[in-house]
Amino acid sequence: MILTRSEEMLLLAVHRLQHDAYGVKIRLLMKEFTGKEMAFGALFVQLDRLSQKELLKSYLSDPTPERGGRSKRIYQLTTEGKQALIRTKKVQDSIWENVNGLGLDKA
């Protein structure tokens, strides 16, 4: 299965954040990646779908006071998630291999 661009970014964000991978932080990182604000609604829908595809799993942390006493739902990559990322990376690499004349070097 090949991931879409946003799926790939979300999974990478989750992977990079490790034990801090919950809604707010993922959204921040996504903003860093793309430079755009992502609506919470859109974020949760995506995370939900990835969980349904079993690329992500999640657990609830202990409640913290700065969140009004609510728990964090912390996401983690599943084995399938990791494999999907690797597969996607490979496909991309092969696509990008030997691409010349776009001016990639200058950037």
Partner 1 sequence: MKGLKQKPPRFFEWLMRIFFPDNGMYSTVGDMHEQYTFIAESEGKSKAGWWYRYQVIKSLLPIPFHKLVWNLTMFRSYMKVALRNFQRQKLFTFINVSGLAIGIATCIIIGLWVQNELSYDQFHKNADRIFRVEREITRDEIDGRWPITSAKYKQALIDDYPEVIDAARFWRRTFSIKDSNGDLRRETLFAVDNSVFNIFDFEFLHGSKETALDRPKTIVLTQDAAIRYFGSFDIIGNTLELEWQGEYTPFEITGLLKDLPENSHISFEMLMSFNTYPKEAFTSWRSNYLHTYVLLDEVAQLDKINEKLKGFIDNRLEPEYGDLIVQGRSIHDVLKLYLFPITGIHLNPSENYELQAGGSFQSVVIFSSVGLLILIIAGINFINLSTARANRRAKEVCLRKTLGAYKKQLKIQFLQESLLLTVVASCLGILITLAFISFYDSIFSNQFPAVRFFSGYDILLFSGIVFTIGLIAGLYPAMQLSKFEPAQTIKGQFQSTGKKSNFRRNMVVFQFSISITLLIGMTIMYQQMSFINTKEIGFEKENVVLLPSRSSIVADRLETFKTKLLANSEIISASGSADLPGDAAYSNGNLHSHEGVGTHFSSILLNCDYDFIETYKIPFLAGRNFSRNLSTDTLGTIILNETAVGKLGYKPNEAIGKLLDRGDANNSLKIIGVVKDFNFQSLQYNIEPAAFMLSTEYITAISVRIAPGDIVKSLKLIEDAWESTFAGELFEHSFLDERLQMLYISERQTQTIIIIFSAMSVLVACLGLFGLAAFTAEERTKEIGIRKTLGATIANIFSHLTKDYLKWVLISAVIAWPVSYYLMTSWLQNFAYRISLNVWPFVLSVFTALIISLITVSYQSLKAAGANPLDSIKYE
* Residue 73 CA from chain centroid, whole number: 14
Q: 81 with 12: CB under 8 angstroms?
A: no
The answer to whether 66 contacts partner 1 (rule: CB under 8 A) is yes
Q: Is 78 in the site for partner 1 (CB under 8 A)?
A: no
19 binds partner 1 (CB under 8 A): no
| 63 lines the binding site for partner 1 (CB under 8 A) | yes
Say what angle helices 40-52 and 23-34 make with each other, to 10 degrees: 100
Q: Does 32 bind partner 1 (CB under 8 A)?
A: no
In the complex, minimum distance from the CB of residue 22 to partner 1, in angstroms, rounded to a whole number? 7
Tell whether residue 10 is a contact of partner 1 (CB under 8 A). Answer: no
Q: Does residue 47 contact residue 57 with C-beta atoms inside 8 Å?
A: no
Residue 99 CB, nearest distance to partner 1 (Å)? 39
On the 0-12 / 13-18 / 19+ scale of CB atoms within 10 A, 52 is exposed
Residues that bind partner 1 (CB under 8 A): 22-24, 27, 39-41, 44, 60, 63, 65-68, 70-73
